[in-house]
Amino acid sequence: MKLLPLFLRKPIEAVYERRLAATLVGLPRPQHVGIMVDGNRRWARKAGHTDVREGYRAGGAKVTTFLGWCTAAGIEHVTLFMLSDDNLGRPAEELGPLIEVIEETVRDITAEGRDWEVRAIGSLDMLPGTSARVLKEATAATTGRGGLKVDVAVGYGGRREIVDAVKSAFEEHIAAGGDPAELVAQFGIDDISRHLYSPVADHTDFIIRTSGEQRLSGFLLWQSAYAEMHWVDCYWPAFRHVDFLRALRSYANRERRFGK
């Protein structure tokens, strides 16, 4: 069957979207959503762009739109996986434009008038040039805003975060005059949770990954112990509001037992 022309498809999709949104009223919603914004380069190539930076730009623009959807849906906390610590090994000519887009995106979502409290998390000291300073200064301006909490994971690795959390716990204990052996004896789950990059991120309810890939790639390893996963075939720049609503419907229909 041939696809409907655009002038017919858009109104039909709008009606379907409204009906789908109505079915979600009163159903369980995730409080903390992790989103893996994957597929920017593949989207650019599929769209006919010879410069993959067009994919990065389109993906960066979609971040602001997505956060608006989350705000409207009553989500409390979002973690955006924008650059892994493994990605830092990419060639400079590829990594540079990607980081530029990340900086632009962070400036946008932290701009005056936005009701979002934004943090940059990850190994920021590993970023090239002045990127760490740019991200820290932009996000510092959002402290205390309230509203949706947004963690932008840049140079982030889940295993590295756990290692850093353990180090931080021992450093804190020793700085307070404690005996390391004493901490070893009593060390527990809470000691790691309290020292993660984001203090409000000790658990994640729902993780969405675009582009059709079905793996975590080191994203929120500690926090995702009981997270529900949702895989989307489309590339991140093509992720639509209806895709988001379908993801929320999938979450609402799941029985979460937490091992019980």
* DSSP per-residue string spanning the chain: -PPPPHHHHHHHHHHHHHHHHHHTTTS---SEEEEE---HHHHHHHTT-SSTHHHHHHHHHHHHHHHHHHHHHT--EEEEEEEETGGGGS-HHHHHHHHHHHHHHHHHHTSTT--EEEEEES-GGGSSTTHHHHHHHHHHTTTT--SEEEEEEEEE-HHHHHHHHHHHHHHHHHHTT--HHHHHHH--HHHHHTTSSSTT-S--SEEEE-TT----TTTTTTTTTT-EEEE-SS-GGG--HHHHHHHHHHHHTS---TT-
122: buried, middle or exposed (CB in 10 Å: 19+, 13-18, 0-12)?
Answer: buried
How far is residue 69's CA from residue 16's CA, in Å, rounded to a whole number? 16
| Known catalytic residue at 38 | yes
Q: Which of 87, 191, 202, 243 is catalytic?
A: 87
Catalytic residue among 38, 85, 151, 205: 38
Q: Which residues participate in catalysis according to the annotation? A: 38, 87
